[in-house]
Structure 1
Amino acid sequence: MTSLTGCSDLVERGFLPKGVTSTSEEFTTFWNTTWLWALGVGVLVWGLTLWCVVRYRRRKTDTGLPAQMQYNVPIEILYTVVPVLMVAVLFGKTVELDNTVLDTSKKPDVTINVVGKQWSWDFNYVEAGVYDSGVQAHLNGKKGVPATLPTLYLPVDKRTEFVLTARDVIHSFWVPQFLQKMDMMPGRVNKFQVTPTETGTFTGKCAELCGAYHSEMLFQVKVVPQAEYDQHVAALKARGQSGFLSNSLNRSELVPGEQQFLPPALDQSSIVEEGKK
């Protein structure tokens, strides 16, 4: 019975991952509505095609070619105007959803500068003034790999703003259960906000091919109660990880095979101010 219930939930959300943010329902509704309309158009087209095949099939009594029709202006207008209207509606609804989920005008409770690098992640917790740095995952098939991944902590039911930057090449910040992702581009700051509504540990990854070890550019997100989040921030401070990691990278300073770059904690005022806009 449990497996049937899980299957039913999977179908209801259009085979998307189970969303865990305040905007998940909007994404799921838009996704399912789009597919239902597409299915309706497909059934109509397939039905008309099959009807033409059956209705106008060649019969034994037929001789020569069927009557040739060069133009049918009403039909031509119909199959031109209707698709244009459909695309316009889809475009309009997409822009409407984008404007909703990418709105960063509200003041966030937490601001985190996520820095992508080949092939791992750094996290600057802006308000708390602490940072955490990750190293490349090693997918050796053994147990315990998740414990070695860089882990981003978020407080549940708090609006979090991600300020996304990259040190080297284009990356993409993606937590599948957030149902949205965004590119991280060198020399540019991108940002979006989410409000996690469920506690738990969720897998994150880079969604933009960024080099030889792209598949190992993994991280975890732990959505926890506020008290546990505060404990994590305090633990980072106790380890001396106060300040902000630099968003710059001098490749000449990296030794061959080194995946971690730990510059001194620097004042990243521009990133902080960008996150507050």
Structure 2
Amino acid sequence: MTRRRVPRAAALALLLASATACANDIPKANWSEGLLPEHITSQGDIVQNLWNGAWIAALATGAVVIVLIIWACVFHVKRKAKAELPPQVRYNLPIEMLYTLIPLVMVSVFFFFTARDSRDLQVLSGHPDVKVKVEAFQWSWRFTTTVNGKTLKPVVGQPVSDYKSGPQLVLPMGKKVEFELESPDVIHSFWVPAFLFKRDVIPGLAKDNKGRFFEITTLNKPNVYAGRCAELCGVDHSRMLFSVKLVPDAEWNQYIATQAGSAQ
């Protein structure tokens, strides 16, 4: 019996290691951000508020349930040798209506805030400062940036083992950036953990399909942030890494000047 358990345990350990190996570049969560990574977009504020609100509501609901369980255990213990059932509330219409209405109200509140925030995340201003065409392919990325009607030299990557070695998308601080997502082969997922949300890159969508576009407003937090594909897309999925570099205006203008001259 022991011999059979050893291969199973080894297989389970290998599976767990494989499942977690592709997430070692994700920034650690911190308490100040509600156990989420530090975000670099104003859209991240929306996600964080929804996250915090959901946890507060869940913890409050859990606390009420635990109190009721403890109350039932303490005040309905068997006090006599002969077991006696506590007073039953079967067929009590007011209580049964309460059991139905409270969950319905809770689900409705969760649905309202989720639908509202999902709508806000999909809003396009129509007047972005920067446009980026993101082409996801097996197994890397191609970033084509357009600023003031001028297209910069595309950044094309290849499969890598470290996101710092992959293609780098440079973005300015405090600007609106519109992304257009496209894939020529299979479904990918454009994920920068510091954005606090991700978008699928689905092949075959029409040019006017809003699912291909989304917009962010960057904050003033210059740094290099990890990015990856979050959709299992093939043999080199785990090496489909890239980075996003957020830079101040002076460095951004210098980057535009150097890249615009070599653009085709």
Question: Is TM-score (shorter-chain normalized) higher than 0.5?
Answer: yes
Question: How well do the aligned residues superpose, as a CA RMSD in angstroms?
Answer: 2.1
Task: Note the C-alpha offset of 1:171.
Answer: 0.8
Alignment partners' CA distance in 1, 2:63 and 2:164: 48
Partner of 1:128: 150
Which of 26, 38, 49 in structure 1 is aligned with 2:46?
Answer: 26
CA distance in 2, matches of 1:57, 1:194: 57
Please state whether the residue corresponding to 1:58 is helix, strand or coil. coil
Matched, 1:54 2:74: yes
Partner Cα distance (2:173, 2:87) in 1:
69
* Paired AA for residue 184 in structure 2: R
Instruction: Name the structure 2 match of 1:257.
Output: none
Q: What letter matches 2:245 in structure 1?
A: K
Q: CA distance change for structure 1 residues 65 and 78 in 2, over 3 Å: closer, same or farther?
A: closer
Matched, 1:169 2:192: no
The residue aligned with 1:262 is none
For normalisation by structure 1, the TM-score amounts to: 0.76
Three-state SS of the structure 2 residue aligned to 1:194 is strand
Superposition pairs of residues 107-118 of structure 1, within 5 angstroms: 107-118=127-138
Task: State the Cα distance separating 1:172 from its structure 2 match.
Answer: 0.9
Match of 1:142 in 2: none
Aligned counterparts of 2:96 and 2:47: Cα–Cα separation in 1: 35
Pairing 1:12–2:32 present: yes
SS in 1 for 2:71: helix
Aligned residue number for residue 97 of structure 1: 117
Aligned equivalents of 2:134 and 2:195: distance in 1?
A: 15
- Matched residues, percent identical? 39
1:231 matched to 2:251: no
Q: Is the 8 A contact 2:132 2:143 kept in 1?
A: yes
| Per-residue deviation, residues 117-155 of structure 1 (Å, max 9, x unmatched) | 111100111333231111111x2xxxxx44421000111
Change (3 A) 1:55 1:113: same
Distance, in Å, in 1 between the alignment partners of 2:251 and 2:84 is: 82
Give the superposition deviation at 1:12: 3.4
Alpha-carbon shift at residue 157 of structure 1 (Å): 0.9
TM-score w.r.t. structure 2 length? 0.79
| TM-aligned CA distance change 1:12 to 1:230, over 3 Å | closer
Distance 1:236 1:45, change over 3 A: same
Tell me the secondary structure at the aligned position of residue 52 of structure 1.
helix
Give the conservation status (yes or no) of the 8 Å contact 2:150–2:260.
no
Give the direction of change, closer, same or farther, for the CA distance of 1:82–1:212 in structure 2 (3 Å limit). same
Partner Cα separation in structure 2 for residue 67 and residue 225 of structure 1: 69
Counterpart mapping for 1:240-251 below 5 A: 241-242=263-264
Question: How many positions carry a matched residue from both structures?
Answer: 228
Gaps of 5+ in 2: 1-27
Q: CA deviation at 1:67?
A: 5.7
Structure 1: where are the runs of 5+ without partners?
1-6, 140-144, 243-277
Q: Distance in 1 between matches of 2:259 and 2:250?
A: 15
Counterpart amino acid of residue 212 in structure 1:
V
Q: Does 1:82 align with 2:105?
A: no
Write the distance in 2 (CA, Å) between the matches of 1:65 and 1:156.
67
Which residue is 2:244 aligned to? 221
3-state DSSP of counterpart to 1:23: helix
